A and B are shown apart, each in its own frame.
Chain A
Amino acid sequence: MNQARRQDEELAARLAARDALALTELYQRHSRAVYSLALRMLGDREAADELVQDVFLRVWHHPERYLADRGRFVTWLLSVAHHRAVDLLRRRRVQRPTADGDVAELSADSVAPDDAVADAEERRAVRDALATLPEGQRRSLELAYFEGLTQSEIAARLGEPLGTIKTRIRLGMLKLREQLRGLVREYEAG
C-alpha cells in the first residue's frame, strides 16, 4: 500500500473517533479534486461550493460508509461527490428541461496555478485514452459521467437503441481500463 493511501486510511479511521483535525487534513488533500469535479459537472461555483460542503459533511457524519477493503478512500470520496452531482443535474433537468447539457466553461482564473506535474500528466493520459475511443463510446461515456445522463437518456439523446448504448459504455470503460492499466493497477495495488 502506498503512503498516500495509507495516510488516507489512517485519517478516515480518525474520523470515526470524531477527530476534527483529520477532517481538515482530508479536506486539504482532496477538496480540490472534489471541487474541480463539481465545477466541471455543475458549471457554477455556488453549486460546487455547496456540493463540497455536502460531501465533506457526509464524510464527517458517516465515516463508516467508507470500506477500506473495497478500494481507496479518494475513489470512494469522488464517487460520493459524483453521485451527489448527478442527483443535482437530474433534479435540474426535471425543473429546467431546456437546460439539458448546459454546462458553463471554466474561466481561466479558476484553474489551479500550481497544478502538480504528475497530476497534469495523469490528466493528459486520461484525456488521450478517451480520445482514442470510437466517437460513439467516448460520447456515451461523457454524457453519462459528466452530464449525469442514464443509459436510457443517452439512448434518447443520441437516437440509438438502449442496447447499443449499454454496449458502448461497457466496452468504453473496459478499453479505458486497458489503456490506463498502469494507473489503475497503481491504484489497485496502492
Chain B
Amino acid sequence: MNMRPAEETCVDAEALALDALDDAERAAALAHLDACDDCRARYAAAREVAALLARSVPQAVPPPGLGTRVLAQALAAPAPAGRSAPARIAWSWLAAAAVLVAVLGWNVTLQAQLRAQAEQTEDLATRLTTQEAALRLLAPGSGVARPLVGSDVAPRAQGALYLDPQGTTGLLVVRDLPAPPPGKVYQLWLIHDGQRASGGLFTVDERGVAVLVVQAPQPLRTYQAVGVTAEPPGGSPGPTGPRVIGGQL
C-alpha cells in the first residue's frame, strides 16, 4: 500500500469518508476532490474501508412490506424536474411490489421454513414452485396484465391480475384497497358464464397493498372476469357481499 505521510495530504480524505467533517469542511473537501486526482484516489480507497465498517455491523432483516412501500412511493412520486417517466410504468410498481414480496417473503421466509420444518418440505416446495411460476408472469414478454378497478365501495382501489392465459397460475396485486370489515377477509372470484369459482383469500396491509398467488381450477383463458368481495374467514362458496374491485379478463 502506498501510504502518504499525513503532512502531505491535501484534504482529510479519511475523515471525509467517515462523514466526520462538519458541513463547511465537507463542502470544501468535496470541491477539492474534483480538482485533485490524488485525493480522489485516497477518498475512494477510504470509502471502501468505510463500507467494510458498514458491513461489519450485526445483520438485521428489514421488515416485510418495507420494500413494497419503497416501490409504491418510488413510482407514485412525480419524476424529478427535467425527467419524464415513461407511461409504460403505469402498472409496473405493482409488478415490482409483487416481485419484492415474492422474493423477500417467499424466498427468505419460505426457504427458512423449508429448512426448519422438514416434515412439510413437500408441501412447501410445491407452493414455492407455484409462486415461482407466478413470478415468471412478471418477466418482460411473459404473461399479460389485466387491470382491475375499484367499485363504488372502494373507488381508490387499483390492481392488476398477471396471468398466462393458457395456464392456471396468476398473480393478483392490488393497492389502495381498504381493509375488509372486521371479521372478514377478501375472496377473489373467477367468473365463467356467470359461475364463480374461488381464486383464493387475502387481506391487505396497512397501506391497502396485497399480493395473492392465484391457482385457478381451469386455464385462466376460460374465465371472462374476476371480482373481489369481503367474506367470512375461510371464504364462501359464492359471493355474499358487494364487489370491491374487479375487471375483465
A interface, CB within 8 angstroms of B: 18, 20-21, 23-24, 27-28, 31-33, 35-37, 39-40, 45, 48-49, 52-53, 56-57, 60-62, 70-72, 74-76, 78-79, 81-83, 86, 106, 110-115, 119, 122-123, 126-127, 130, 141, 144-146, 148-152, 154, 166-167, 169-174, 176-178, 180-181, 183-184, 187-188
Contacts and interface: CB of A to CB of B under 8 A. Distances in A.
A187 B51 contact: yes
A152 B21 CA distance: 8
Contact of A28 (B40, B56, B103, B112): B103
A183 B20 contact: no
Interface residues of B, number: 61
- Majority DSSP secondary structure for residues of A touching B: helix
B103 A150 contact: no
Contact of B14 (A24, A52, A72, A173): A173
A33 B54 contact: yes
Given A24-B96, A53-B73, A70-B44, A145 B53 contact: yes
Contacts of A123: 55-57, 59
Interface of B: 1, 3, 6, 9, 12, 14-15, 17-22, 25, 40, 44-63, 66-67, 69-71, 73-75, 77, 79-80, 85-86, 89, 92-93, 95-97, 99-100, 103-104, 108, 112, 138
A167 B85 CA distance: 48
A172 B17 CA distance: 13
A28 B20 contact: no
Contact of B20 (A52, A75, A151): A151
B18 A141 contact: yes
B58 A18 contact: no
B96 A71 contact: no
A188 B48 contact: yes
Contacts of A141: 18, 53
Given A45-B63, A49-B66, A114-B108, A177 B51 contact: no
Contact of A176 (B49, B58, B66): B49
A71 B71 CA distance: 26
Contacts of B86: 18
A79 B47 CA distance: 7
B175 to A, nearest CB: 14
Nearest 6 Cβ contacts at the A-B interface: A126-B56, A144-B20, A173-B14, A40-B57, A20-B96, A35-B62
13 contacts: A18-B89, A20-B92, A20-B93, A24-B96, A27-B71, A35-B62, A62-B80, A86-B19, A112-B61, A126-B55, A130-B53, A184-B45, A184-B48
Contacts of A31: 62, 66-67
A22 B93 CA distance: 11
A69 B48 CA distance: 14
Contacts of A119: 55, 59
Contact of B99 (A24, A71, A176, A180): A24
A78 B19 contact: no
A71 to B, nearest CB: 5
B60 A112 contact: yes
Contact of A32 (B9, B22, B60): B60
A61 B55 CA distance: 25
Contact of A21 (B6, B20, B50, B95): B95
Contacts of B99: 21, 24
B92 A184 contact: no
A36 B59 contact: yes
Nearest to B99: A24
A181 to B, nearest CB: 6
Contacts of B12: 151, 166, 169-170
Given A20-B89, A36-B59, A86-B19, A126 B9 contact: no
Given A36-B59, A71-B48, 9 more contacts: A20-B74, A20-B95, A37-B54, A81-B54, A146-B53, A173-B49, A177-B48, A178-B3, A184-B49
Contacts of A169: 12, 14-15, 18, 20
B100 A177 contact: no
